[in-house]
């Protein structure tokens, strides 16, 4: 029996040291030391031995078992280390590989312009407000000194929903809303960016477009304030060298009224195809708030004066970014939109 044990020991040591991986090692552990393992089988036959032999064989089996256990433990450590090394080798990170980029969305050029304008006016103490796109005739026209039947209503072809409701044709509607909402009739300084709608169907106009409105009401507001404000506005947006030109015009809600041209930023005023050789581009409507408008919306024209302006954001964005066709703004073509990611603003 001693020889049998020695034989088992010899075989197992040989096999164990040849084990190539943890699975094989585990199988060998079962083969020799498991419940039905070879060494365990030997222990089970101990009963057939004489009393003298039993302790000798017993302690021999125990010794071999301890030796094998130790061997297995060491081998296990060794194999684990080898596996780890292989894994590390395989999973080596090549830090020189280019990183995989996350695709980000792009800001629409219109939103870029709106955000820039908002930042500028907020820095000058203005609030940014909005109003409903489905507007009443009262706020869109009547409270702006445009009673029903007024010929100037023809300046804007409107989408009427009912006789009282329409899609607002101008952000000017929010002027009246802000004045009416201000119950204490305190000074006002707001801009209103937003969507507007008109029944236009030619190539350079869209039935839906965007405007930004400005309204300031306070004591002693003069035309000089309007000129200074629009100068800052246009120079910040289109470049420091931009010149402004005020042409007398007519709007029912302002008196006096102006159309404001900016010097062509493409040719600097020399004349080119963009400005149709005039050197100027018409960009804003503006004026001093009509006393009737102040009165109709609860402000005392003897105490307060104000100025207002409005401009089309689509045209502004087109000029600023050199976009030649307005329809690009509404097509949501990702190739078009991502171009603006490279720009600062």
Residue of 45, 34, 36 lying closest to 5 (CA atoms): 45
Q: Considering the rule CB under 6 A, would residue 126 count as an interface residue with ligand DAH?
A: no
Residues 315-334, one symbol each (x = binds ligand DAH by CB under 6 A, - = not), give: --------------------
Q: Considering the rule CB under 6 A, would residue 310 count as an interface residue with ligand DAH?
A: yes
Q: Considering the rule CB under 6 A, would residue 114 count as an interface residue with ligand DAH?
A: no
Strand, coil or helix: what is 343?
A: coil
Q: Considering the rule CB under 6 A, would residue 251 count as an interface residue with ligand DAH?
A: yes
Token output for 111: 């939103």
- Packing angle of the helix pair 223-238, 109-123 (nearest 10 deg): 140
- Tell me the DSSP string of 8-44: HHHHHHHHHHH--SHHHHHHHHHHHHSTT-HHHHHHH
CB of 344 to ligand DAH, least distance (A): 29
Token output for 91: 């999973």
Q: Considering the rule CB under 6 A, would residue 233 count as an interface residue with ligand DAH?
A: no
Q: Considering the rule CB under 6 A, would residue 285 count as an interface residue with ligand DAH?
A: yes
Among the listed residues 37, 109, 252, 287, the single contact to ligand DAH using CB under 6 A: 287
Site for ligand DAH in 5-24 (CB under 6 A): none
Token output for 155: 């300046």
Closer residue to ligand DAH (CB): 190 or 318 = 190
Among the listed residues 137, 213, 261, 314, the single contact to ligand DAH using CB under 6 A: 213
Q: Considering the rule CB under 6 A, would residue 254 count as an interface residue with ligand DAH?
A: yes
Closer residue to ligand DAH (CB): 137 or 213 = 213
Which residue's entry shows tokens 């004045």? Answer: 179
Q: Considering the rule CB under 6 A, would residue 286 count as an interface residue with ligand DAH?
A: yes
Backbone conformation region of residue 149, classed left if phi is above 0, alpha if psi is from -120 to 50, else beta: left
The residue ranges of DSSP E strands in the chain, in sequence order, are 127-128, 134-136, 159-160, 165-167, 188-197, 208-218, 244-251, 254-263, 280-289, 305-312
Residue of 216, 213, 234 lying closest to 225 (CA atoms): 216
Among the listed residues 8, 308, 313, 317, the single contact to ligand DAH using CB under 6 A: 308
CB of 333 to ligand DAH, least distance (A): 28
Q: Considering the rule CB under 6 A, would residue 172 count as an interface residue with ligand DAH?
A: yes
Q: What angle do CA 267, 271, 273 make, to 5 degrees?
A: 85
Measure Cα distances from 31 to 6, 69, 75 in Å: 16, 13, 16
Closer residue to ligand DAH (CB): 23 or 205 = 205
Q: Considering the rule CB under 6 A, would residue 309 count as an interface residue with ligand DAH?
A: yes
CB of 259 to ligand DAH, least distance (A): 8
Q: Considering the rule CB under 6 A, would residue 283 count as an interface residue with ligand DAH?
A: no
Q: In what order do the strands lie in the sheet with 280-289?
A: 127-128, 188-197, 208-218, 305-312, 280-289, 254-263, 244-251
Closer residue to ligand DAH (CB): 10 or 138 = 138
Q: Considering the rule CB under 6 A, would residue 210 count as an interface residue with ligand DAH?
A: no
Among the listed residues 145, 158, 170, 305, the single contact to ligand DAH using CB under 6 A: 170
**Interacting residue ranges for ligand DAH, rule: CB under 6 A:** 170, 172, 213, 251, 254, 285-287, 308-310
């Amino acid at each position: 029996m001693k020889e049998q044990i020695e034989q088992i020991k010899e075989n197992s040591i040989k096999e164990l040291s040849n084990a190539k991986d943890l699975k094989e090692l585990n199988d060998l552990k079962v083969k020799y030391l498991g419940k039905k393992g070879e060494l365990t089988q030997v222990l089970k036959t101990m009963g057939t031995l004489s009393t003298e032999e039993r302790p000798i064989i017993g302690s021999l089996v125990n010794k071999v078992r301890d030796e094998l256990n130790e061997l297995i433990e060491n081998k296990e450590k060794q194999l684990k280390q080898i596996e780890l090394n292989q894994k590390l080798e395989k999973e080596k990170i090549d830090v020189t590989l280019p990183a995989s980029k996350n695709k980000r969305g792009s800001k629409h050029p219109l939103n870029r312009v709106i955000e820039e304008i908002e930042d500028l006016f907020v820095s000058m103490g203005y609030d940014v407000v909005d109003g409903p796109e489905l507007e009443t005739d009262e706020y869109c026209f009547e409270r702006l000194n445009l009673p029903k039947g007024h010929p100037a209503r023809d300046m804007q072809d409107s989408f009427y929903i009912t006789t009282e409701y329409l899609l607002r044709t101008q952000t000017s509607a929010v002027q009246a809303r802000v004045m009416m909402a201000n119950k204490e009739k305190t000074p006002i300084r707001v801009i209103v960016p937003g969507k507007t709608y008109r029944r236009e169907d030619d190539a350079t106009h869209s039935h839906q477009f965007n405007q930004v409105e400005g309204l300031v009401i306070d004591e002693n507001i003069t035309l000089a304030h309007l000129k200074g404000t629009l100068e800052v506005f246009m120079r910040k947006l289109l470049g420091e060298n931009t010149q402004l030109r005020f042409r007398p015009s007519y709007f029912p809600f302002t008196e006096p009224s102006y159309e404001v041209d900016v010097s062509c930023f493409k040719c600097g005023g020399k004349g080119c195809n963009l400005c149709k050789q005039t050197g100027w581009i018409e960009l804003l409507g503006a004026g001093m708030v009509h006393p009737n408008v102040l009165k109709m919306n609860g402000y005392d024209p003897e105490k307060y004066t104000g100025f207002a302006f409005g401009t089309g954001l689509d045209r502004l964005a087109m000029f600023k970014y050199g976009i030649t066709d307005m329809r690009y703004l509404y097509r949501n073509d990702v190739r078009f939109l991502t171009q603006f990611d490279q720009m600062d603003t």
